[in-house]
Structure 1
C-alpha cells in the first residue's frame, strides 16, 4: 500500500490521474471517468468539506464501525464491482477538468498536512482513525478506481 503522506508516492497517484482523459473508459462498473473522479472526491469532501454530506446517525454509525470499517481501512484491496454507500453514488455527468483538479488538490493537501494531522482524527463514518487507517482508506480507494480506468 502506497503512503499518501509521502510526497513521491502521492505524486504517483497524481501522475496516474493526469493520464486520464475525458474519453477514458472503465474496465468494469457503470461510472464514467468524470463520475469516478467526483466519486473519489467524496472521501476527501467528508474530511475537508463535511457540510456537503449528511453525517450518519447513531445506529448507522454503529453499523458502519462494526461491519464496514475493517473493510474500508484495512489493507485488503476492494474487489471489482464492490457495493458503495449511497453518499458516494454519482449518476449525473460531472465536469472532468474540475473534478480532476479537485482530486489532485485534495491529494496534495492531505500529503502536505502529513501523517500527524490524521493520527486520531475523527472520521465522518468510523470514529477516530489512526494515520495508517486514513492512509489505507485514501490509497486503496484511489488505486481501485484508477485501476478500474486502466491507469
Structure 2
C-alpha cells in the first residue's frame, strides 16, 4: 500500500497535483477543483497538529466509526461520492494556484514526520499508528486526484 511517507509515493502525488489545472472537472461529486484542493488540506492539517476539530461524538457513533476505521487505510480504494464531515466541507476558497501551493506545503510537512510516534488523536477515529496515518493520507489524496482525472 502506498504511503505519503514513501518518497516515491509523495512525489507521484505532487506530480499528479501539478497535472491539474483551473479547468479540471470532477468525474463525480460536487466539489470544484479549488474546493477539492482546500478540502484535501484539512485532514493533513489535523495530522500535522495544525487543526484541532471540536467534535462531540456519541457512544453509538463511536462504535460504528470503530468498525469503519480499517477502511481508512486498507488497500481498497474509497468508493465514489462518499460524504464528508461538515468540518471538511469547503464553501469559500482562494485562487487555484494558492490552494495547490498550500496543499503541496502541507503534504511536504506531513511527509517529514515519518519518524513521529506521538500523533494527534483523529477527531472521529481516535488513534492511528504512523503507518496508518501515511496510508490514510495517501489514500485520501489518491481518491480526490482520481476524482479529478489525474
TM superposition score normalised by structure 1: 0.85
Residue 55 of structure 1 and its aligned partner are, at CA, apart by 3.4
Tell me, in whole angstroms, the C-alpha distance in 1 between the residues paired with 2:127 and 2:66. Answer: 13
* Residue deviations 1:109-149 (CA, integer Å, cap 9, x gap): 122221x21x4523233222112211221011100100111
Does structure 2 conserve the Cα–Cα contact (< 8 Å) formed by 1:38 and 1:90? yes
SS state at 1:134 partner: helix
Greater CA deviation, 137-146 or 61-70? 61-70
Does structure 1 conserve the Cα–Cα contact (< 8 Å) formed by 2:28 and 2:80? yes
Map 1:12-91 onto structure 2 (within 5 A): 12-48=12-48, 49-51=50-52, 53-57=53-57, 59=59, 62-63=62-63, 65-91=65-91
Tell me, in whole angstroms, the C-alpha distance in 1 between the residues paired with 2:140 and 2:97. Answer: 20
Alignment: residue pair count: 148
2:144 is matched with 145
Q: Give the alignment's Cα RMSD to 1 decimal.
A: 2.1
Tell me, in whole angstroms, the C-alpha distance in 2 between the residues paired with 1:148 and 1:80. Answer: 8
- Considering fraction of residues, name the structure with more helix: 1
Task: Give 5+ residue unaligned stretches, structure 2.
Answer: none
